[in-house]
Structure 1
């Protein structure tokens, strides 16, 4: 069982063991997705032994007693810890959302709505305003909203997201004006660093193959280099972890051995293990020996080899031989 699934089960048991008032207080600190997942797990949790409840309660108490950073209330502390744990890229978006104060307080209300309601609410606004809203939402949620727009608007919004280097105070003020009838306004606005090629790519990862192609084709007419940069970010070498074993085996048959060695020189251990387990033991041992005997490789060579492998992966996906990770349309590619 995955750690996340086990943690969710423990959380559900703990919430069910609390009184209604105490459980309600806990829910106040959770986001929409967390509430939905935890609520669904609670509804499926039946007949839990008393010993199991006591074990989980003891675990929670132990964790609480071991905490030493409670009450520090320091933005610098949070930034330092998350950056160290997740790396600058992964921590950046999360830190913006945690530390931006009331800059996007109005957006929080949207997160509790369904995509159709939000799409209906914002579809007639200026594409720049829509882009500003979507970069503040979870990527799959933003993609679900985007899929409800007409193709022209969808492409326009993604183009604006991909070229969005920052959100100015006047843009956020305008955003709050647009949502003022249903959402709370924001105060003490400052520029945030959301948006950009990565945000556009992450949203497009969830919109589905047909919509994705149409959007990228439209952006390519405007700026072919920008379109390629978005596509490069959409499926990275690390995402090979999400490809099933059969897909990896199919991919390896079409990847030159030399390119694989160079690409893996700069890959995480998890990626290497994924490749090794989908090869014969003899081939895996030979590959490990090649990696150990190969001297230092330039980062540019590693990146080029990884891109070549990703091109093969996309080609196989287009031919329907493998399925890449993503969301949106529930279809094989």
Structure 2
């Protein structure tokens, strides 16, 4: 029902409702890398960012609207439907531009984890959001805090000056229906002045960085360097170990996330990754398959015969990378329980 409503709303959109950037994004998606290369190369970095942002948030564009855009631009129509999202935008840019140009553009678009600007704000550290909102008008702050998670709003309000926070709460009580134009302006301001600058103004936690580095080691180097770190900085080593996401941690996924991951990963990689794993780990994965699929998978794993430890490590790293990518897109939730709180990979 919800999907049908979303499709109906998409079909209801007209050419007049599309911005120039959205029309350009649709055209570039239709042209693809083969025919649109010259256009991409002619854009400067600022234009690239704007068009890429518009493309990554298009969603599904119905054929009728694609035809209107093409007819408006070239007077010709084709029965085409294009989908503009983060993955397709990144894939297209990667084929057309150097990595050092693609990386910053996509990082700026993605920002903190989340598909919408409001989901992203809910993943921004409390003190960073509070510091930004201190300089905004109370009415704007009221609108913003009314649209993000309540627990996050509470933490941010507690960090604002008391009089300012009280004014914001009073304005939240009086909030009426907000026009689309006003909401678009606030979202654009947040995206341009706050989200896009987060990567430039925040320093990544060193323990988190090292945890990711350790995740990329093969098991020999991981063991060697962890032992060395434990001798020199035991407490830091413990914190890094708690932050690390290992292949065994996949068994802690919730049922829905586990099933989504099993559907997404290559079964040959999984068969290699489970070589030498405990029965409980093997059962965790096969329990997410149908009986027939699990039987076929077990036969395939048995048919592999002996394989090198290096191949096992490589297969496990591929699955870990897939899990992290899915978590970044909000498709699954990966959490580890530490001494004080759950650490969610973003």
The TM-score with structure 1 as length reference comes to 0.34
